Chains A and B, each alone.
Chain A
């Protein structure tokens, strides 16, 4: 029973892991690496916003903290990349816990929670943009020093596997949570807080746990972004763009589902690339398409891509099942 759900995860991971053997185009591999980084950020969002129903508009706060803490430790203190990443993820989790503690204790939900997270991310962005040790508006540039211990790779394939490894951890953690008591309580909190309380669920602590793990996952994405591009500034690390990416992917793929973020991230960025091909290199056209997709998903496919697939599968099955669906 608890093994449930791991097969599709293995399948998706296997396909992506084998990709570098089939495709050598750097453009494609770059695309996949970038989407995997987005996927990680989105997996974080999905745990809190999808499973737990607490939509955040400010996951940049965690992404940026991951990226900045790791960058500062490496650039200013010469600390090893892996150690820096570990510390940065812990810092991201801590920021998550603090934001969660303040907002959930104040009873913020729904739109209010979304806005307060956005404001926290903006405060961090302005601070990072103004402070000296973050490099101010010029940002932080990492030294190019390729090697496993520095978490820098010349081969795109190697970085793809690294990112995939982290995504795999994210998927497995999500699936474990989905199969666990904590997961059930988190879903209960999303569906009906009052009822959850009546059944002995400590709502505040469940939410805090969720935002902490969520922030940690998204902070990993920030660290990977740094290792891949070797440069960050406040608008990249704490910018609204990553908060939106982290939210969009699970919405499009299937909110609250383990595979939602990865499916959504690839669908969205696939669409983005397609719209660039169609419309030429017009700036903003891919993002405009994302916005439109978000509206369409909310309006017509609240279950996202996975929800649509499930519906199609039921439709092609004998009538009995469909009747039950519509009942």
Chain B
């Protein structure tokens, strides 16, 4: 469904992403993990059309969408959430979600009905008339998700929607994400919460310093020495390995 080919992104002298590729098959939940500053959000921005890559191509459903602007990609069915939530602060929850719903429903009544349905689905049914700015962190994350869902995407890009939530809030939202997938939406998610990654993802890509260093099932990736090294640094990884060896 989505293919990212050799994407490179430079900001001045800094190479945020250096020749990264990945593939997302229809109907799956694919994870994208990696240490802070690895370039994950940058890669998302490129897939969604918010940044023009220095090099590389983005293929969606067989066609090259690299030159398309963000709103065109949304029409094709790519929706993203923002790691730093971006609510329409002056609007209430219903109006926030309706902006997304208007993408496929021109009439106000339909868009509002759609917005309300989506709100209920992500657990914002009781907050429809609240100002977006008055929501809690968890509420805002749900709002990000709801707005993206309201565009009725084929591919949903979730950028750390679980970050900043407490364990019970995470427990509430994990089934929601799985249900979205079960209804046919393909999901690519950036996540630091490993428990959720293990739980949700069929496949995981690992990005470190702009390069894709590993790929596989969550279980495979977790024991991959490159990944451990990327997260903990070389010294720590070696020590860990040595410790494991001495335990064995």
Contact = CB atoms under 8 A, between A and B. Distances in A.
A83 B153 CA distance: 48
A6 to B, nearest CB: 14
B71 A184 contact: no
Contact of A200 (B71, B91, B95): B71
Interface size class of A (residues with CB under 8 A): 20 to 34
Interface string B53-83: 0000000000000000111001100011110
A192 B100 contact: no
A179 B108 CA distance: 7
Contacts of A1: 108-109, 112
Contacts of A198: 48, 50, 70, 74, 79-82, 86, 148
B82 A200 contact: no
A106 interface: no
Interface string A196-223: 1111111100000000000000000000
A197 B112 contact: no
A181 B111 contact: yes
Contacts, number: 84
B82 A195 contact: yes
Contact of A184 (B70, B79, B95, B130): B95
Contact of B102 (A184, A192, A197): A184
A129 B99 CA distance: 45
A185 interface: yes
A199 B80 CA distance: 8
A145 interface: no
Nearest to A198: B80
Interface residues of B, number: 35
B86 A181 contact: no
B93 to A, nearest CB: 13
In the complex, which of the residues A2, A196, A198, A200 has the most CB atoms of chain B within 10 Å of its own CB atom? Answer: A198
A180 B90 CA distance: 18
Contact of B88 (A181, A187, A203, A324): A187
Q: Is the interface of A mostly helix, strand, loop or mixed?
A: helix
Nearest to A324: B130
B34 interface: no
B102 A181 contact: yes
A194 B82 contact: yes
A234 interface: no
B90 A191 contact: yes
B18 interface: no
A2 B99 contact: no
B82 to A, nearest CB: 7
A191 B106 CA distance: 20
B156 to A, nearest CB: 12
B86 A192 contact: yes
B151 A200 contact: yes
Interface string B135-173: 000000000000110110000000000000000000000
Nearest to B129: A324
A169 B241 CA distance: 76
B87 interface: yes
Contact of A201 (B71, B89, B109, B130): B71
Contacts of A324: 130
22 contacts: A2-B109, A179-B108, A180-B108, A181-B102, A181-B108, A184-B98, A184-B99, A184-B108, A185-B99, A187-B88, A188-B99, A191-B90, A195-B87, A195-B88, A195-B147, A198-B80, A199-B147, A200-B74, A200-B75, A202-B69, A203-B71, A327-B134
Given A197-B74, A201-B71, 20 more contacts: A1-B109, A2-B108, A187-B88, A187-B90, A187-B99, A190-B90, A191-B91, A194-B50, A194-B82, A195-B82, A195-B86, A195-B87, A195-B88, A195-B147, A197-B50, A198-B50, A199-B74, A200-B74, A202-B71, A327-B134
Interface of B: 48, 50, 69-71, 74-75, 79-82, 86-91, 95, 98-100, 102-103, 106-109, 111-112, 130, 134, 147-148, 150-151
Nearest first, the 8 closest Cβ-Cβ pairs linking A and B are A200-B74, A191-B88, A200-B103, A195-B86, A197-B70, A188-B99, A181-B102, A199-B100
